Structure 1
Amino acid sequence: MYFGYLNQENQNLMKIYYFILTLFFCSISFAQSTISGSVKDNKNEPIPGANIKVVGESAGSVSDVDGKFVIKVTKKPPFTLEISSIGYATQKVQVTSASQKVDVVLNSTDTQLDEIVVAASRTPERVKESPVTIERMSVKDIKKTASPTFYDGLENLKEVQMNTSSMSFKSINTRGFATVANTRFMQLVDGMDNSSPLLNFVIGNMIGISEIDVQSVELLPGASSALYGANAFNGIMFMNSKSPFTSQGVSAYVKYGQTNQKAAGTNDYADYGVRVAKAFDNHFAAKANFTFLKATDWFATDYRDINNPGKDRSYYNYNGLNVYGDEASTNIKNVGQTLANMGLIPASAVNLLPNYNVSRTGYNEVDLTDNKVRNAKIDFSLHARPFGNEKLEIIWQSKFGFGNTVYQGANRYYLNDFFMEQHKLELKGKNFFLRGYTTTEDGGKSYDMLFTALNINRAWKSDATWFGQYAGQFIQSTLGGATPDQAHAAARAIADTGRLIPGTDAFKAAFNNVISNPDVLSGSKLVDNSRIYHSDANYNFKDVFKPVEIQVGGSFRQYRLNSHGRIYTDATGPIYYNEYGLYTQAQKKLMEDRLKLTASVRYDKSKNFDGNFSPRFSAVYSAGAQKNHTFRGSFQTGFRNPSTQDQYIGFNVGSAVLVGSAPDNLVRYTETLPVANDIYGNGQNYAGGTTVVMTGVNAYNNSYTAASAQAFAAMAGTNPVAAAALLRKSNATYVKPETVKAFELGYRGQFKGFSFDINTYYNVYNNFLGNLTVVAPLYGTAMDSPNIAAGPTDPGFQSIHALTSGNTRAYQLYTNTDIEIKSLGFGIGVAKKVYKNFEVSANYNYAQFDFDQAKDPSFEAGFNTPKHRVKASFGNEKLFKNFGFNVSGRWSTSYLWQSTFADGMIPSATVFDAQINYSIPKLKSVLKLGAANIGGKEYQQVLGAGYIGHQYFASLIINP
């Protein structure tokens, strides 16, 4: 096993852990009866992965690649075996003798419509009876996927949109408003929300689940707040692991291959894991998993200028997308005035300098990271059944995730030796569960790439010195007859003399000093020791009260934010806040079980906001003699509480400061800023000193919208009166919960061998949360169309003076828009067996949103979703003996990407994945050869992230 990136202490702990685990699983045994047999379909083909269970007991087994199984039972015959597999009708067989061989034939059923799901109603039901759209991935689907991992394969599900920030950080989204930091989508692993406590969003599968431990994945697109609370606003995904009572033995997999990208070249890729599980008897079982991934990340090498499309590095105010440090930019004429005031240049020379900004020379992202992906996941769980059956099960589960990855938010961040752990205690039975868990994270050696570059530059030469040298050389070159372009080139060359070059010892020393320092004035380290405590419970009264199936439940969560003042305003100590929710659901079947009515309502309360009710109503009608045509309709209201970032962030990202709007946060965030010289020379000191203290109150209550400030700047030099008339006070409101009214209609059914799943939805959003960039003057009062002729004593005039002299601070605020946002979509999925065992499936999704940008020009909704998406697959699990294959394809149209990092277009993309697999019965193994993005162009899913290249791999999976 590879532990090279873990410290020595962790290595020793892991060695001890596995030694103890080995003794644990090898030291206990019991006398058992052994029953063997086989499971085949009605074409005499073996069925691998079928579940074999003793009715009324915990003993269970799974069939191997030949359909054979062995099950050890502590009780004596007679007893009953239940054999089931997805896509087949369940069979029960009576065992009357310990020597009896059990050979079972399962009849095929409709694979998609008869699968059992739990997520849609918090109670088991068939997919076709679900009151809302639901997608599912089973063990069988994981085997078929042509993607490198099962998590990547989720992208082939209908309605799923994947956003790749890096190879190991992929964010799942449904129904629009997609971001890398997707706080509107929940991901639960065995009931635990594995979102980051600090940031409130999921970091892909970094602390998720091992591929060989996945039992099923269920995904609900759209609002799910009625049962799952505030964060299930745009969807929720459930990843469920295998029970050690029914899936025992040692399983393992190993994958090796290569990635290929124009920017990164060809690099090795390795991924492996092991699962150990044992049921010691009907009362006690345990399991453990270990996985490790190592690869080279997709290089981010987009060097387009963010602010000036078409400009290259020769541009004097260049700001490259994946270039950092060039955000240090200042008005070069202001610099000249400062030099003149200090007597370093003649006053007349100031007029030779242009009145616009010049930026420092930055560093490429590829020079600021090692571009390596590493992720290790370790989990173990202990399971006890006091009564020897499923009436009561007690579970202790611990999960640990270590890794390196790139996260993109307002900046690009390298999560280096990032660590996250979860611990859960759960009691569950047939009709209830009660669980509590905690999630803790440690930022490790993570750092902000933008501040890394800024402070490497400043460690070598201060901004004041660099810009002073630039201005001085520009003047000299101009006096020597140089053109402006020539003067800029000469000025940059002089100012960059002695610049630290990537790869040199001097650069490495500066780099290491900066990334280990959490002070943004000189370092870039991200500090995080945040935690959440969560508990939830549910009880179903279906065995107590028969007329109507009633459920009740609730949850409680406490956040403990602790970034030591680096990200949040928690410099003096952790920030605590609580939220809780209560819900109930009633479900009733009528008309000979053809009509199912469901009503749910949930109440949620968070510390800083009023309580909110989220009702849901749905109806499902099953038509046809076999009830194989189901029609569904639902209405629900969802809501989302502002995240921890929306409320408590106080984060300097260089170009702006991110400020949350919780009332106590506004006064807690403070910053002392210098006041620049008066470039017009009228001698006025409106700030009352050389520095001014700014708080979050200034950001929200005394600022101009960035759009109007930019319009003012463009016209101020030629027509200052007209320019002032363009200014608009931001009037940003403090954040409050956003709400959605969601309407959905759908159909599932079969027609002439085709399986259909059709849905359409319409959402109406109010108080939609987003970002607003504002510019706050360091003095004066922001107001609409201030009067420039009012004179120096007028507060509006003073704010204009601050804008023109560069005495401002940019902020990114978290606020709600008053404009109603609407979105609608349509989806259709179809599947059919076309010849023998050949299967073909396809799905199409349409999505659009409606937002009147003219009514709120500074607000970015960030829909970030293609209007059209098509996905298809074609395969055969049994092409011929022991061989199977699958090919999948995806296509999407281009779309606008809006984020705090950058805005721009994501091009359309066509992607094909393919795999062929071969079963080796004697080794109980499956060999798979696969390729992702085979023969296609490199494509991008997140503006600013690396283009996704090609990936080729071979894998060997060994099952008991």
Structure 2
Amino acid sequence: MSSSGTPRLAWRSILLALALALWPAVAHAQSGTLRGTVAGRDGEALAGARVTVVGTRLVTSTSPQGAFTLRGVPSGTHQLRVSAAGFRDETSEASIRPGEETLVAIQLEDKPYELDAVVISASRQSERVTEAPATITRIGTDQLDAAVGNTFAGALKEVKGLDFVQVGMTSVGINARGFNSSFNNRMLMVEDGRIMVLPENGLPVGQFTATPKVDLGGIEVLVGPGAALYGADASSGVISMETKDPRAFPGLTMEVTGGNRNYRDVQARYAGVLGDWGYKVSGEYQEADDWSNRLTLVSGIARAWRPTDVGSATVAPEVSPGGVNGLNWDASVARGTAAVVRYFGNSRLELSGGGSVTDGVGQTSVGRNQLEGWRYNFGQLRFSSPRWYANVYRAQSQSGESWATNRYSQAYYPNLARPDATRMTDEQLVAASDWPSDGRMYAGEVQYNSRVPMLLNSAVVLGTSYRRDVVSSDRQWLTDRLTGEDISINQYAGFGQVTTPVMPWMDVVLAGRYDIHENYDAQFSPKAGVVVRPVPGQNFRVTYNRAFKSPTILQTNFHIPDWNAITVIYGNTRGFTVKRPDGTVFREYAPLQPEENTTWEFGYKGVLGDRLFVDVAHYRSAYENFMSPLAVIGDPLNAGLGGQPAGTSVWAYDADGNRLNTAAGGPALALTYYNLGAARIQGTDAGINFVVTPKINVRGTLSLIEISDVEVDAGREESTALNSPEMKWTLGGSFQDFGRLTGGLTVRHVDEYYFRSGVNRGFISGFTTLDANLGYRIDRFNTTVNLGVSNLFGCGGNFEYDDKDLLRATPTNENRGCGFGQKHTEMINMPEIGTMVFLGIRYQTR
């Protein structure tokens, strides 16, 4: 070969490089700029409207002033499509000339119903539900206002894919896609970008939130792994709540509600704008005489109390101070928030804070807690602009005078047998059963988002976050009891997502998050997906997610060597070995590590005929290293509670080879957390919303799930318990503006299923319930009267078991019925739920 080919190849390479370098300039010379405004029917500017040049990758959103700019638009005549929440899509023509600027003004018509809402949670940036690469549901202000009851939780009953568990008049449990528990922390709760987690135990803040429902502007529920953008606590999904902006929701709102079981609630919110400043304040007081039940511990397993339990030496009926049968089920909460906002053109800076105080009863995997004066508070500063988002906050939870009811009951009866001179007082017993906690979270996040023309106009989201948890148990039940110092844990993370329109009708989504935790190995959570849009408003998607659930401070730092005379409880940071009395090893438990969830999802979402919204997703998930609930590993009592066959004993040893003993020095019934098992599940979540007329709509959801390929050691099946129904569905309909009337009906069905979490074991009877709501608007007085009835009619019941059936796996009888006021059970060892009636009056000015 001639050497002259080398210079020729070099020149070709140089010319190609110059051509590639000059191509953007050439393309720019053949393009122009499109600038315009988007307004509503009355001429008001529409912020966040989506503007797309059809057939290209060019897309943008309008500013708070309704303005937009698109550069690099190819010359020629194009179709311009504009969409905004609450308005009909508009398509118009725009002619672009090379190097020139084209001005357009677009006005949208009102749409009386919204099938394709704008959401943020799925990709951390604005997009339509039909464009989101995930299963996501948005609940708007209208739905929140019409929700049965006076908490935000009632609006979650009809979210597809969500397990909604009513455990009281005002308290609920939430889970998604299986593996529920009595102490569930697989769902991440976020409010205004603030992680809503109790640092001391990893549970969602839930009913302890400081925000009244009248200040909630919307809720987005992301079902499925969300760790790629949200981190460790989003293994099963994300519930993201946003509060109302003073400028968008000014004026006074007051709501007074009463109901059965002495339910009473007062909420109020006032907001306004002074120039470039906005402000708001909100508050609520709520209380009710909740449903109640009594429990008895039999061989460490809880069951309903019976009259024959009195005086029995083999059982421990639940009791309150003074020997009162049962607990105090009077539930109450006082909460409030305030905020000041400074507006800077397209940007805003907000300083907010709030707090709550709650009383009631909460469940754990080893019993129940009497909540007395539980406090939660936060302070937050956040900044947002079209490109940047920054957020810093401090949150704190304190258990107040709360105490563990089972620990008190187990100490109460032996105390009665002691001589009067050595008998403990009720106050001393409560003090020995309390669990003081002070959990503080210090966190911050910075996020940048933009579109990159050189990357096919890709939408890019980049961010970093920091979190520091500082927890104290007052040196009583965590490892600060040993060290004399508060427990502190630092976490760092970086995340990003790129959505590339490789074709005008197809997006490729790549995302990932890298979490560094000082107590275990760093975790990488990848996400990948392809979204195909054959026509506007419809998409098919395939996504891959890997998420993880990290151990909480409770799971790693629990430390109670004297829970009672025979029981010790320890967190798992170094591992344990369990041996038979002859010294041979029965089982080894490694140090606790994060649980992993890998999920493939295939879905379709679309609006058909401008009246029918369909969302169907099928998923396949593989779980590894399940983190167990608090469970027995050392059982010298021969009861078979440590995973060994009944009639044999096993003793637990720590990583240094020391046997875990009771306070008196004998072998202990030892409890801890561990990783064990693997499982594969598959399921389908589907939802429809059909607009019959602009005033009437019908909606429904269906969820199916099944577990397969379970790998778990004999005796430790609790680790992989699905704890969710194989099928559940809802069917509802609503009407609006019939004269002054608004209302609806919803039927909810949950199949029977087996639940096993610690001492809470047994079958939850399948149930079907009917909810109804009716509102009447009195325009003259800016007032609406709302009547809501939950469980108006239902079918359900409960099971009975033999005391020898420790797993509650073989019911001896089922008490079941149908009718008005029919009660049913939604959580093992919590009260049956009956009819709930709420009558409220809302006054609102703007």
TM-score range, shorter chain: 0.7 to 0.9
What's the secondary structure of 1:729's corresponding residue? strand
Aligned-partner Cα distance in 2 for 1:52–1:728: 77
Aligned-partner Cα distance in 2 for 1:908–1:728: 42
1:623 to 534, 538, 542: 534
Partner in structure 1 of residue 843 of structure 2: 958
* Structure 2 residues not aligned, in runs of 5+: 1-38, 49-63, 66-81, 92-106, 648-657, 795-821
What's the secondary structure of 2:760's corresponding residue? coil
C-alpha displacement at 1:890, in angstroms?
0.5
Aligned-partner Cα distance in 1 for 2:302–2:391: 53
Partner in structure 2 of residue 857 of structure 1: 715
C-alpha displacement at 1:583, in angstroms?
1.0
Partner in structure 2 of residue 889 of structure 1: 747
Deviation per residue, 1:215-255 (Å, 9 max, x gap):
11101111111011111111111000111122111111111
Deviation per residue, 1:740-781 (Å, 9 max, x gap):
111001111244543211011110011121144222669xxx
CA contact (8 A) 1:599 1:618 kept: yes
C-alpha displacement at 1:922, in angstroms?
1.1
Partner in structure 2 of residue 401 of structure 1: 356
User: Structure 2 counterpart of 1:559, which letter?
Assistant: D
Aligned-partner Cα distance in 1 for 2:317–2:44: 66
Partner in structure 1 of residue 289 of structure 2: 296
Q: 1:953 to 1:165 in 2, by over 3 A?
A: closer
Query: What pairs with 1:506-905 in structure 2 (closer than 5 Å)?
Result: 510-515=425-430, 517=431, 523-542=432-451, 547-571=457-481, 572-592=484-504, 594-624=505-535, 627-651=536-560, 653-654=563-564, 656-663=567-574, 700-703=576-579, 729-751=586-608, 753-771=611-629, 772-775=631-634, 807-817=666-676, 819-834=677-692, 837-850=695-708, 852=710, 855-860=713-718, 861-878=720-737, 880-905=738-763
C-alpha displacement at 1:85, in angstroms?
7.9
CA contact (8 A) 1:423 1:439 kept: yes
C-alpha displacement at 1:156, in angstroms?
1.5
- The structure carrying a bigger strand percent of its residues is 2
Partner in structure 1 of residue 212 of structure 2: 210
Query: What pairs with 1:255-654 in structure 2 (closer than 5 Å)?
Result: 255-258=257-260, 267-281=261-275, 283-301=276-294, 313=306, 358-359=314-315, 363=319, 367-385=325-343, 388-390=344-346, 392-409=347-364, 410-462=366-418, 510-515=425-430, 517=431, 523-542=432-451, 547-571=457-481, 572-592=484-504, 594-624=505-535, 627-651=536-560, 653-654=563-564
Aligned-partner Cα distance in 1 for 2:725–2:673: 25
Deviation per residue, 1:293-329 (Å, 9 max, x gap):
11112202356957789998587xx6xxxx9x98xx7
Query: What pairs with 1:183-222 in structure 2 (closer than 5 Å)?
Result: 183-222=185-224
Aligned-partner Cα distance in 1 for 2:268–2:643: 64
Aligned-partner Cα distance in 2 for 1:377–1:310: 34
C-alpha displacement at 1:203, in angstroms?
3.6
What is the TM-score normalised by the length of structure 1?
Answer: 0.68
Q: 1:375 to 1:191 in 2, by over 3 A?
A: same
What's the secondary structure of 2:785's corresponding residue? strand
C-alpha displacement at 1:835, in angstroms?
5.1
C-alpha displacement at 1:105, in angstroms?
8.6
C-alpha displacement at 1:288, in angstroms?
0.8
C-alpha displacement at 1:370, in angstroms?
2.5
Q: 1:564 to 1:761 in 2, by over 3 A?
A: same
User: Structure 2 counterpart of 1:279, which letter?
Assistant: V
Name the larger-Rg structure: 1
C-alpha displacement at 1:435, in angstroms?
1.0
What's the secondary structure of 2:265's corresponding residue? strand
Runs of 4+ in 1 over 6 A off after TM superposition: 306-312, 543-546, 783-786
What's the secondary structure of 2:501's corresponding residue? strand
What is the TM-score normalised by the length of structure 2?
Answer: 0.77
Deviation per residue, 1:781-824 (Å, 9 max, x gap):
xx9999x9xxxxxxxxxx99x99x9943112221111x321111
C-alpha displacement at 1:851, in angstroms?
5.3
Deviation per residue, 1:685-706 (Å, 9 max, x gap):
xxxxxxxxxxxx7xx22446xx
Aligned-partner Cα distance in 1 for 2:304–2:172: 31
Aligned-partner Cα distance in 1 for 2:596–2:833: 35
Deviation per residue, 1:484-515 (Å, 9 max, x gap):
xxxxxxxxxxxxxx9x9xxxxxxxx9434432
CA contact (8 A) 2:294 2:326 kept: no
CA contact (8 A) 1:703 1:776 kept: no
Partner in structure 2 of residue 473 of structure 1: none
Aligned-partner Cα distance in 2 for 1:836–1:919: 18
Aligned-partner Cα distance in 2 for 1:148–1:832: 27
What's the secondary structure of 1:611's corresponding residue? strand
Aligned-partner Cα distance in 1 for 2:497–2:603: 21
Q: 1:434 to 1:830 in 2, by over 3 A?
A: same
User: Structure 2 counterpart of 1:120, which letter?
Assistant: A
User: Structure 1 counterpart of 2:357, which letter?
Assistant: F
- The structure carrying a bigger helix percent of its residues is 1
User: Structure 1 counterpart of 2:268, which letter?
Assistant: V
Q: 1:906 to 1:52 in 2, by over 3 A?
A: farther
Aligned-partner Cα distance in 2 for 1:255–1:585: 44
C-alpha displacement at 1:214, in angstroms?
1.4
User: Structure 2 counterpart of 1:403, which letter?
Assistant: T
Q: 1:366 to 1:603 in 2, by over 3 A?
A: farther
C-alpha displacement at 1:895, in angstroms?
0.9
Partner in structure 1 of residue 97 of structure 2: none
C-alpha displacement at 1:86, in angstroms?
4.3
Q: 1:754 to 1:941 in 2, by over 3 A?
A: same
Aligned-partner Cα distance in 2 for 1:949–1:452: 29
User: Structure 1 counterpart of 2:492, which letter?
Assistant: Y
Deviation per residue, 1:911-935 (Å, 9 max, x gap):
1110111011111121111111003
Partner in structure 2 of residue 111 of structure 1: 114
Aligned-partner Cα distance in 1 for 2:277–2:665: 69
CA contact (8 A) 1:600 1:616 kept: yes
C-alpha displacement at 1:530, in angstroms?
1.9
Q: 1:174 to 1:361 in 2, by over 3 A?
A: closer
What's the secondary structure of 2:142's corresponding residue? helix
* Structure 1 residues not aligned, in runs of 5+: 1-37, 41-50, 58-72, 75-82, 93-103, 259-266, 330-357, 467-497, 501-508, 518-522, 664-696, 710-723, 789-798
Identity of aligned residues (%): 20
What's the secondary structure of 1:288's corresponding residue? strand
What's the secondary structure of 1:541's corresponding residue? strand
Aligned-partner Cα distance in 1 for 2:480–2:402: 18
Q: 1:419 to 1:90 in 2, by over 3 A?
A: farther
CA contact (8 A) 1:702 1:777 kept: no
What's the secondary structure of 1:534's corresponding residue? strand
Aligned-partner Cα distance in 1 for 2:181–2:371: 18
What's the secondary structure of 2:792's corresponding residue? coil
C-alpha displacement at 1:366, in angstroms?
7.2
C-alpha displacement at 1:274, in angstroms?
0.6
What's the secondary structure of 1:140's corresponding residue? helix
Partner in structure 2 of residue 127 of structure 1: 129
Deviation per residue, 1:867-916 (Å, 9 max, x gap):
010101112113x2101210111001111111123211111111111011
Partner in structure 2 of residue 679 of structure 1: none
